[in-house]
Structure 1
Amino acid sequence: MSGPVAPRIRRITRPDAILRGEETGAGPTYLLLHAGGERRQVWRPVSEVLVDAGYRCVAFDQRGHGDSEGSARTLSACADDVAAMLRAEPPGSVVVGASLGGLAAVAALTDPAVRARVTGLVLVDVVPCLDPSRVRRFLDSVGPLGGHTALVEDILAQVPRLRQVTAELDLPVLLVHGDNGSSLTDEDVSQLLHLAPHTTVRPIRGAGHLIARAQPVALARAVIATTTAWR
């Protein structure tokens, strides 16, 4: 590997927020969307592997996170931000979304114009067929939600729409999930495969819910191994 590459600063002005991010590398693009409570920097070890393999990575702090402004209270606001990020990129991006990032990506793909700009979707330890009771128990077990309780409840209210969007997706999908402390069950994976039978599933050994933190190199390699054929 060639080592870390200094990121280039990115900025997108939204009607009610400024989103701040960074990009590295050159080549086909991965748009990396972090989990709730995280920041864009969590993707840097993943980006190093992708950039070394000849790809370009773009990562923003989601609204209400890190250096970005705005309030993350509804999934639709996060999804509209994802749509704005994709409009700022050349067509053909692969979207990689962890937890909140994955759900915001699915919601953004409701718009056919946004979907047309995307080559494929990678879901990192998240599925659209969420069980509200189990999600709440899982989140309670990992710590306080801070100011994100309203967002969680809004997301859970959107589950029927997220399921419908996923069932209608005509894009390739990759689900990467941990095998140790993951938020997902075998039933979750089965439900996703029922909604989107074309989904590829790749478990990551030694990772829980936040795979980009626990196993960034394995995550990047799994993404490359599956999505290279999508380009």
Structure 2
Amino acid sequence: AKNGCVMVHEFRPEPGRRAAGTVLVIHGWRSRTEYMRTLIEGYRDAGYKVVSLDLPGHGQSQGRRLTLVSAVEAARLTGEWFGPFVAVVGHSFGGAVAANAVVGSVKNIPPLAAERLVLIAAPSSLPAIFDDFSRMLNVGRRSQAAMADRVERIAGRPLHEFVGDRQLASTPVPTLVIHAPDDREVSADHARLYAGAGDHVRLYWADGLGHRRILADRGVVERAIGFVAEHREPSLLH
């Protein structure tokens, strides 16, 4: 990768069991592969090979800065080495990375091949996240404009185009959105935006699980696995 080495962890199904496909798992901001353990083990136990990416500057990956562009580039590289994927599963910022990688939103980075998307507690709109950050950090209008210009310079398109619901609307990859109504870090409005992208997007409300507990919840993990499994084996549909 342009930002140095990226660490990818590989988890294989039980010996002698043929993998039902490969699932890419992407952690969130200030996180790492370990925090995705319950999901990783769930997919592995269900017979999938799981590949988990440490984003640039996180976990065991090199790099001092993480941007959406460097993250999408890391996901694309992971796809070249380990893909294609039956699903890409992302939590928080990792969900935004998964969505942007699959729809191919960053100029000069080809779309990441995946049959399904699972977005857990994920922001759908980068402009809204920018606004939230700016409010929290008291960033003035001129600084906000400078940041938006920088995004356009790096990503090759203006910030206002990085709105996940619009991008998903034009990319009919079957998508499951899992979000807690009480998420304090990424508002539930983001999940509603994704859900409005079309009939190919399903929304599951994980009541009372906040932004992080959602990752360890058995019911959430079972839904995330079932969504991918039903696509692979129609006999599992109820």
Same fold (TM over 0.5): yes
Once the two structures are superposed, residues 95-129 of structure 1 have per-residue CA deviations (whole angstroms, 9 ceiling, x without a partner) of 001111111122222439534x2111111111323
Paired with 1:99 and 1:223, the residues of 2 have a C-alpha distance of: 15
Asked whether the equivalents of residues 79 and 107 of structure 1 are also in contact (C-alpha less than 8 Å), the reply is yes
Paired with 1:138 and 1:219, the residues of 2 have a C-alpha distance of: 31
- Name the structure 1 match of 2:142: none
Runs of 5+ in structure 2 lacking a partner? 14-18, 138-146, 233-238
Q: Is it true that 1:33 corresponds to 2:29 in the alignment? A: no
1:207 aligned to which of 209, 212, 220: 209
Q: Is it true that 1:165 corresponds to 2:158 in the alignment? A: no
- Name the structure 2 match of 1:109: 102
Counterpart of 1:205, as a letter, is: D
Once the two structures are superposed, residues 46-82 of structure 1 have per-residue CA deviations (whole angstroms, 9 ceiling, x without a partner) of 2222211212211121100111001334211111111
Asked whether the equivalents of residues 21 and 40 of structure 1 are also in contact (C-alpha less than 8 Å), the reply is no
| Greater strand content | 1
Instruction: Describe the shift of the 1:59–1:138 C-alpha distance in structure 2 as closer, same or farther (beyond 3 A).
Output: farther
Paired with 1:19 and 1:78, the residues of 2 have a C-alpha distance of: 10
Paired with 2:218 and 2:136, the residues of 1 have a C-alpha distance of: 26
Instruction: Describe the shift of the 1:73–1:56 C-alpha distance in structure 2 as closer, same or farther (beyond 3 A).
Output: closer
What is the deviation of 1:91? 2.0
Asked whether the equivalents of residues 125 and 209 of structure 1 are also in contact (C-alpha less than 8 Å), the reply is yes
Q: Equivalent residue of 1:180, what SS? A: coil
1:128 aligned to which of 119, 124, 136: 124
Asked whether the equivalents of residues 180 and 188 of structure 2 are also in contact (C-alpha less than 8 Å), the reply is no
Instruction: Describe the shift of the 1:16–1:134 C-alpha distance in structure 2 as closer, same or farther (beyond 3 A).
Output: closer
Q: Which moved more, 1:94-103 or 1:219-228?
A: 219-228
Instruction: Describe the shift of the 1:61–1:206 C-alpha distance in structure 2 as closer, same or farther (beyond 3 A).
Output: same
Runs of 5+ in structure 1 lacking a partner? 1-13, 141-149
2:199 aligned to which of 197, 200, 209: 197
- The percentage of counterpart residues that share the same residue type is 21
Once the two structures are superposed, residues 170-190 of structure 1 have per-residue CA deviations (whole angstroms, 9 ceiling, x without a partner) of 200110112433445454333
Give the aligned length: 205
Counterpart of 2:11, as a letter, is: T
Paired with 2:123 and 2:9, the residues of 1 have a C-alpha distance of: 26
What is the deviation of 1:193? 2.2
Asked whether the equivalents of residues 36 and 99 of structure 1 are also in contact (C-alpha less than 8 Å), the reply is yes
Q: Is it true that 1:24 corresponds to 2:1 in the alignment? A: no
Asked whether the equivalents of residues 177 and 195 of structure 2 are also in contact (C-alpha less than 8 Å), the reply is no
Asked whether the equivalents of residues 129 and 192 of structure 1 are also in contact (C-alpha less than 8 Å), the reply is no
Asked whether the equivalents of residues 109 and 165 of structure 1 are also in contact (C-alpha less than 8 Å), the reply is no
Q: Is it true that 1:82 corresponds to 2:75 in the alignment? A: yes
After superposition, where does 1:89-108 map in structure 2 within 5 Å? Answer: 89-108=82-101
What is the deviation of 1:137? 7.8
Q: Equivalent residue of 1:17, what SS? A: coil
Instruction: Describe the shift of the 1:216–1:187 C-alpha distance in structure 2 as closer, same or farther (beyond 3 A).
Output: closer
Asked whether the equivalents of residues 86 and 114 of structure 1 are also in contact (C-alpha less than 8 Å), the reply is no
2:56 aligned to which of 52, 63, 67: 63
Q: Is it true that 1:180 corresponds to 2:162 in the alignment? A: no
Instruction: Describe the shift of the 1:93–1:179 C-alpha distance in structure 2 as closer, same or farther (beyond 3 A).
Output: same
Coordinate RMSD, CA, aligned: 2.9
Higher Cα Rg, which structure: 2
